[in-house]
Chain A
Amino acid sequence: GDSVTQMEGPVTLSEEAFLTINCTYTATGYPSLFWYVQYPGEGLQLLLKATKADDKGSNKGFEATYRKETTSFHLEKGSVQVSDSAVYFCASGHFGNEKLTFGTGTRLTIIP
């Protein structure tokens, strides 16, 4: 079955630093790819998504590009803020399939 591998956390950065959280996937066919974010005490919420190769998802200054050749969907942000502190989950899913496969999550802490 499908699987998603994320970089191990936790990650601690200073405010305004550049962020990269790596994500690679293993899947049959061409899945859709997602980044979800979980703020403290809340459920997961969709941050961005890409549905086909070379698509770039973006939201709130975060970006991720669907790279078929490297089976990757790395999350990036040019200048992080304290409010970005959260747990980030990479996920994959197929059209017509009923579930998303999530990575283990990466805890991000931004210090002022």
Chain B
Amino acid sequence: DSGVTQTPKHLITATGQRVTLRCSPRSGDLSVYWYQQSLDQGLQFLIQYYNGEERAKGNILERFSAQQFPDLHSELNLSSLELGDSALYFCASSLRAGGAGELFFGEGSRLTVL
């Protein structure tokens, strides 16, 4: 158990819909990362927050947004969903903002868009 909790574990929805994925980081970790894992793209970095502020942005679509709340949990919002958004979305956390240290991953939220 990494200590990172993601909900929901599975989600099935239709094209055009909007969903919210939630992540609770390990106790004490200030940094949260979102990654998308798809069969053809591997593990792609989406966005990082540190102590409530956006820290780094990767290959995140404009239809997607995220935030980190004062209690340090984070939410990833995916809107106007397309079939290609079907993937496993991972949240990871770490203590510091940088340092290229160890990331602790949750078990992922599997999104299926029909």
By a beta-carbon cutoff of 8 Å, the part of chain A in contact with chain B is 31-32, 34, 36, 41-46, 49, 89, 93-105
Contact = CB atoms under 8 A, between A and B. Distances in A.
Q: Is the interface of A mostly helix, strand, loop or mixed?
A: loop
B45 A41 contact: no
Contacts of A42: 107
Contact of B43 (A31, A95, A102): A102
Given A43-B90, A97-B56, 9 more contacts: A36-B105, A43-B92, A43-B105, A96-B99, A98-B31, A98-B55, A98-B97, A99-B56, A101-B45
Nearest to B108: A43
Contacts of A43: 2, 4, 90, 92, 105-108
Given A45-B2, A98-B55, A104 B42 contact: yes
A93 B100 contact: yes
A105 B102 CA distance: 18
A68 B33 CA distance: 28
Nearest to B41: A104
